[in-house]
Structures are given as structure tokens and as C-alpha cells.
């Protein structure tokens, strides 16, 4: 086992879905994966492996925020040989034309995190981006399934509760669709260690209108996003 994941060697598939919420991981495993087995309960951050259409897929909770997600992405890739990671998360919509439950594929992720500034000595504003192959496949899968998925840039923020909503308005003017809390770190770690990563999101909150889904809905009802992610990761 690694420091934060209790799986034995070989228990985690090369293809992993990563929700922040460990109970969303459990719901995905129980709802979609054939023969799902729980390989880790360390810190309650559940992980499961099963099969989707005959292909081994794992689902690993990653917690909230970039420090937590970085730990899981780093250990999955470096200690368990994971090659493809698709985050399946919730987000707050910044763009007026998004509705609750819309699905987004994040082509790139701006961030207010300091992690990459430290990586590049504050000299480079590194641009974390999705793996093009996974992104292209997810678009094809969404089209095939008749799901109107939006593709665009998002923000990965350190804080869920912001003191600077004005910055969200500015970002929306620059085409940023939504805010979540992990994708910039996920894309950076995948790039650094030669893995593929994509973030898919479902709009759980609307920052402009104040509409929101319940915690139970965030845990157990984002099925369109999960189905796109599963078909994409085995393609
Ligand atoms: O629903 P998950 O995947 O946890 O994602 C979003 O929800 C959490 C905040 O409620 C943050 O982790 C954010 O990125
Ligand atoms: O980070 C997040 C996730 C969901 N909803 C938000 O408003 N922010």
C-alpha cells in the first residue's frame, strides 16, 4: 500500500475515475461497475475496482481541494502505475448560460493556487490542460449519447467560499465556465508524470442565480457525467 491508499499491487486498474466525494466513488462502483471490490478505506477515502463493459476500471475518492487531490493523483500514477485519470466532480457555474446539472469538459484550468508558482519559481504562469485524446473521446461519447456537454476553460480555486466574487465575474468575461477545486493540480501532476487526465464536471451550484443541488444529489445523481467518463476511459 502507499501512504494514503490501502491497495495491494495490482488491485488498482490503469484507468481511474476520481470524484472528490468518496461516497460518490461508492455510488459509482455500486451502480456501474461489475464485480466491484473496495481496495481502500484509508482515511475514509474509498477506492474500488470493477469492470465496465468488460474493462477494469477503478474509482478513487480524492477529497476536496488541490492538496488532497494531488496526493491521490501522485500515488495512483507513481505507486500504482495508473495511466488515465478522469475527475468526475461538481462545480459552480460562472457562465449565465449554464443550468444546474449541465455537464462540462474542462479543456484547461486557471487557478489561484500557489502550487505551480512554487514549481516554476514564480517565473512562469504554467497552463494546466486536459489530455487532448481523452477530451476528444469524451466529446465523441457525449455526442453519441445525445448529451449536450459544454467544453471550455474552468477555474480551480483554493477556497469554496470566496471573498472576491468580482473575480468570478471577470473570469466569466474571459470565457471561464465554472469553478471547482482540483483540476489544475490534476492536470499538472498528470503532465509531470506522463499520465493522461481529464476533468468532467456537473453543475451543482449556480454562482450567479444561487440555485444549488443537495448533498445527496451531488453524491448519487450525476449519472450523465459518470457515463461519459466510463465510456471515455475504456475507449
Ligand atoms: O464534488 P467534488 O468532486 O468534490 O468537487 C467539488 O466539490 C467540492 C466542494 O464542494 C470540491 O472538491 C469541488 O471541486
Ligand atoms: O468548488 C465548487 C464546487 C461546487 N460548487 C461550487 O460553487 N464550487
Q: What is the pLDDT along the chain (235 residues), one digit of tens a residue?
A: 999 999 999 999 999 999 999 999 999 999 999 999 999 999 999 999 999 999 999 999 999 999 999 999 999 999 999 999 999 999 999 999 999 999 999 999 999 999 999 999 999 999 999 999 999 999 999 999 999 999 999 999 999 999 999 999 999 999 999 999 999 999 999 999 999 999 999 999 999 999 999 999 999 999 999 999 999 999 9
Alpha carbons 63 and 88: distance in angstroms, whole number: 12
21 Cβ below 6 A of ligand 1 = yes
Alpha carbons 233 and 133: distance in angstroms, whole number: 10
**Bridge partners for 132 per DSSP:** none
Give me the CATH number covering residue 63: 3.40.50.1580
75 Cβ below 6 A of ligand 2 = no
Beta strands 84-93 and 196-206, pairing class: parallel
- Number of separate domains in the chain: 1
- Among protein residues, the one whose CA lies closest to atom 3 of ligand 2: 91
Residue 7: inside a domain: no
Give the CB-side neighbour count of residue 144, counting CA atoms within 13 A: 10
**Bridge partners for 219 per DSSP:** none
Domain encompassing residue 55: 15-234
C-alpha cell of 215?
448533498
- Please identify which residue in the block is written with the cell numbers 491497495: 7
218 Cβ below 6 A of ligand 1 = yes
Ligand 2 pocket, mutate which of 68, 110, 154, 181 (most atoms under 8 A from CB): 181
Per-residue confidence (pLDDT) for residue 207, from 0 to 100: 96
Per-residue confidence (pLDDT) for residue 130, from 0 to 100: 99
155 Cβ below 6 A of ligand 2 = no
Residue 3: inside a domain: no
Per-residue confidence (pLDDT) for residue 26, from 0 to 100: 98
- Among protein residues, the one whose CA lies closest to atom 8 of ligand 1: 64
Residue 10: inside a domain: no
Judged by DSSP in three states, 179 sits in strand
Quick one: residue 99, left, alpha or beta (phi over 0 = left, psi -120 to 50 = alpha)?
A: beta
31 exposed, middle or buried (CB, 10 Å; 0-12, 13-18, 19+)?
exposed
Candidates 234, 205, 235, 224; CA nearest to 105 is 224
Per-residue confidence (pLDDT) for residue 7, from 0 to 100: 98
- Among protein residues, the one whose CA lies closest to atom 7 of ligand 1: 90
User: What pTM was computed for the model?
Assistant: 0.98
Beta strands 103-111 and 196-206, pairing class: antiparallel
Residue 1: inside a domain: no
Q: Where are the alpha helices (DSSP H) in the chain?
A: 22-32, 66-80, 115-119, 132-145, 165-173, 183-192, 215-220, 223-234
Residue 83: inside a domain: yes
Residue 8: inside a domain: no
Amino acid at each position: 500500500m502507499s501512504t494514503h491508499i490501502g491497495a495491494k499491487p495490482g488491485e488498482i486498474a490503469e484507468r481511474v475515475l476520481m470524484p472528490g466525494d468518496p461516497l460518490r466513488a461508492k455510488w459509482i462502483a455500486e451502480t456501474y461497475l461489475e464485480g466491484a471490490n473496495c481496495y481502500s478505506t484509508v482515511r475514509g477515502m474509498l477506492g474500488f475496482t470493477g469492470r465496465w463493459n468488460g474493462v477494469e476500471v477503478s474509482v478513487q475518492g480524492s477529497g476536496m481541494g488541490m492538496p488532497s487531490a494531488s496526493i491521490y493523483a501522485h500515488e495512483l500514477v507513481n505507486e500504482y502505475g495508473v495511466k488515465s485519470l478522469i475527475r468526475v466532480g461538481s462545480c459552480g457555474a460562472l457562465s449565465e448560460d449554464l443550468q444546474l446539472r449541465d455537464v462540462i469538459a474542462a479543456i484547461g484550468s486557471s487557478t489561484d493556487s500557489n502550487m505551480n508558482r512554487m514549481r516554476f519559481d514564480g517565473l512562469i504562469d504554467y497552463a494546466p490542460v486536459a489530455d487532448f485524446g481523452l477530451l476528444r473521446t469524451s466529446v465523441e461519447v457525449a455526442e453519441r449519447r445525445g448529451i449536450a456537454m459544454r467544453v471550455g476553460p474552468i477555474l480551480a480555486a483554493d477556497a469554496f467560499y470566496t471573498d472576491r466574487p468580482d473575480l468570478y465575474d471577470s473570469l466569466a468575461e474571459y470565457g471561464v465556465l465554472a469553478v471547482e477545486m482540483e483540476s489544475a493540480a490534476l492536470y499538472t501532476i498528470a503532465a509531470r508524470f506522463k499520465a493522461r487526465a481529464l476533468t468532467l464536471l456537473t453543475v451543482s451550484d449556480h454562482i450567479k442565480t444561487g440555485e444549488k443541488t443537495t448533498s445527496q444529489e451531488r453524491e448519487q445523481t450525476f449519472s450523465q457525467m459518470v457515463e461519459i467518463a466510463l465510456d471515455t476511459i475504456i475507449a
